Amino acid sequence: MRRSNITAIRRRLAATTPGVWKTGDRFGSGTLGSHAVVLSGNLPPLELQPDRNGRNDAAFIAHAHQDVAVLLAELETALAIIDDLVDPDPCWYDHGGKCQAHGQASDERCAHARAQEFLGRHAKGNPSEGNAGR
């Protein structure tokens, strides 16, 4: 996922109906079941199938507004932490394929190289350019 995808998700979240989203039975309505999603008190409810799938879908939709905001905030925090931790020096490997520049001790690719690639996919500004080699 690139930074442009994250920006698009933020725009879609900002364009949603403000307020508390809940399922019908948790909105204080005695007539709506847990298969209905209420986005605000001023809009009609979105009613789904009154079966288990409908109730699960309604719960997912009702929580999506809050969940996506929390996930985006956590992603931004993780990106900032990774950016602070990544060593901008390039990897150099020994004859066994282990990164000597960053003290890699596992058989996986160097964590710094993987982090630089991750940050590259989420670079601020131009989504096609990363922090690798900064």
Tell me the pTM. Answer: 0.66
Tell me how far apart the alpha carbons of residues 93 and 24 are, in angstroms, rounded to a whole number: 58
Q: In the prediction, which pLDDT does 87 show?
A: 83
Evaluate whether residue 120 is within a structural domain: yes
Question: 103: domain range?
Answer: 86-134
User: CA separation (Å) from 119 to 8, 12, 68, 79?
Assistant: 18, 23, 20, 7
What is the residue type of 95?
A: H
3-state secondary structure (DSSP) of residue 119:
helix
Q: In the prediction, which pLDDT does 90 show?
A: 86
Per-run averaged pLDDT (10 residues), the chain, 134 residues = 85 87 66 73 78 86 90 89 84 85 75 83 54 36
Evaluate whether residue 81 is within a structural domain: no
Same domain, 63 and 92: no
Total number of domains constituting the chain: 2
Same domain, 24 and 63: yes
- Residue 127, token pair as written in the block: 């989504």
What DSSP designation does 80 have?
H
Tell me how far apart the alpha carbons of residues 55 and 37 are, in angstroms, rounded to a whole number: 9
Evaluate whether residue 80 is within a structural domain: no
Tell me how far apart the alpha carbons of residues 73 and 15 are, in angstroms, rounded to a whole number: 17
Same domain, 55 and 1: yes
**What does DSSP say about strands 46-47 and 22-23: parallel, antiparallel, or unpaired?**
unpaired
Direct distance between the N- and C-terminal alpha carbons of the chain, in angstroms, rounded to an integer: 20
Q: In the prediction, which pLDDT does 29 show?
A: 54
